[in-house]
Amino acid sequence: MTNRRAFMKSGAMALFATGIAGGIPSFIAKAANSVKSNYLFKKNKTLVCIFQRGAMDGLMAVSPYTDPNLKIMRPTLYMSPAQTEGKQFDLDGRFGLHPSFESLYPYFGENRMAIVHGVGSPNTTRSHFDAQDYMESGTPFSKGTPSGWLNRAVGLMGHDATPFRAVSLTSAMPRSLYGDNEAVAINNLQDFAIQMRGNPMAANMAAGSFEELYDQTSNNILNKAGKESFDALKMLNVNNIKNYQPLTGVVYPNSPLGNSLKQIAVLIKMNIGVEVAFAESGGWDTHFNQGAANGTFARNARDFSDSIAAFWKDLAAYQDDVTIMTMTEFGRTAAQNGTGGTDHGRASCLFVLGNDVKGGKIYQNIGSLAKDSLEDGRDLPVSTDFRAVFSSVANGHLQINNNAVLFPKWEGNGVGVMR
Partner 1 sequence: MQFKRIFKSVLVAAGLTVFSSFTNSLFVINSNGVKMPYKKYGYSERQAAARLLDRFSFGAKPGQIDEVLKIGIDQWMEEQLDGKLPDADVEQRLSAYQTLALDNETIVNTYMNAGQVVRFAAKHGLIDRDTIKGDNKKEYQENLRQLMLKEGFKPILQLQNELINQKIIRAAYSNNQLHQLLTDFWFNHFNVSITKQQCQQYILTYERDAIRPNVVGNFETILEATAKHPAMLEFLDNANSVSNSNRIVNKRGNAYVDKQMKQRADEMMATNPTGAAMLNKTIQAKKVQGLNENYAREIMELHTMGVDADYTQADVTSVARALTGWSVRPLIKDAPGRNLYERAGKQNLEKRGFVLEGDFLFRADKHDDSAKIILGKSFPENGGYKEGREVIHLLATNPATAQFICKKLATRFVSDTPSVVLVKHMATTFQKTNGNIKEVLIAMVNDPLFWNQKISSQKIKSPFELVISTVRATNADIQQPLQLYNWCNRMGQKIYFYQAPTGFPDRASYWINTGALLNRMNFGLAFAAQKIPGINFDLLALNNNHEPESPDQALIVYSNILLPERDQAANIQRLSAMVRDNTVVDKINQAAEKNSPPPANDMMGEEMMNNSVKSNKEKASKGKAVLGKKNKPITMQYLAGNNTMVSQVAGIIIGSPEFQRK
Footprint of partner 1 on residues 209-238 (CB under 8 A)? 209-210, 212-214, 216-217, 219, 221-223, 225-226, 228-229, 232-233, 237
**Which of 8, 13, 32, 156 touches partner 1 (CB under 8 A)?**
32
One-letter-per-residue 3-state SS of the chain: CHHHHHHHHCHHHHHHHHHHHCCCCHHHHHHHCCCCCCCCCCCCCEEEEEEECCCCCHHHHEEECCCHHHHHHCCCCCCCCCHHHCCCEECCCCEEECHHHCCCHHHHHCCCEEEEEEEECCCCCCCHHHHHHHHHHCCCCCCCCCCCHHHHHHHCCCCCCCCCCEEECCCCCCHHHCCCCCCEECCCHHHCCCCCCCCHHHHHHHHHHHHHHHHHCCCHHHHHHHHHHHHHHHHCCHHHHHCCCCCCCCCCCCCHHHHHHHHHHHHHHCCCCCCEEEEEECCCCCCCCCCCCCCHHHHHHHHHHHHHHHHHHHHHHHHHHEEEEEEECCCEECCCCCCCCCCECCCEEEEEEECCECCCCEECCCCCCCHHHCECCCECCCCEEHHHHHHHHHHHHHCCCCHHHHCCCCCCCCCCCEC
Measured from the CB atom, is 38 or 216 closer to partner 1? 216
With binding defined as CB under 8 A, does residue 377 bind partner 1? no
**Which of 38, 84, 243, 248 touches partner 1 (CB under 8 A)?**
243
With binding defined as CB under 8 A, does residue 12 bind partner 1? no
Give, as ranges, the residues between 343 and 372 that touch partner 1 (CB under 8 A): 343-344
Residues contacting partner 1: total by CB under 8 A: 84
With binding defined as CB under 8 A, does residue 26 bind partner 1? yes
Residues 121-160 vs partner 1: string with x where CB under 8 A?
Answer: ----xxxxxx------------------------------
CB of 158 to partner 1, least distance (A): 23
Residues 159-198 vs partner 1: string with x where CB under 8 A?
Answer: ------------xxx----x----xxxxxx--xxxxxxxx
CB of 18 to partner 1, least distance (A): 8
CB of 351 to partner 1, least distance (A): 23
CB of 361 to partner 1, least distance (A): 34
Contacts of 126 (CB under 8 A, 6+ apart): 330, 344, 345, 346
Measured from the CB atom, is 112 or 302 closer to partner 1? 302
CB of 267 to partner 1, least distance (A): 13
CB of 199 to partner 1, least distance (A): 7
Measured from the CB atom, is 196 or 360 closer to partner 1? 196
With binding defined as CB under 8 A, does residue 72 bind partner 1? no
With binding defined as CB under 8 A, does residue 25 bind partner 1? yes
**Which of 12, 203, 247, 250 touches partner 1 (CB under 8 A)?**
203
With binding defined as CB under 8 A, does residue 84 bind partner 1? no
Give, as ranges, the residues between 295 and 354 that touch partner 1 (CB under 8 A): 337-341, 343-344
**Which of 142, 199, 368, 413 touches partner 1 (CB under 8 A)?**
199
CB of 63 to partner 1, least distance (A): 20
CB of 362 to partner 1, least distance (A): 29
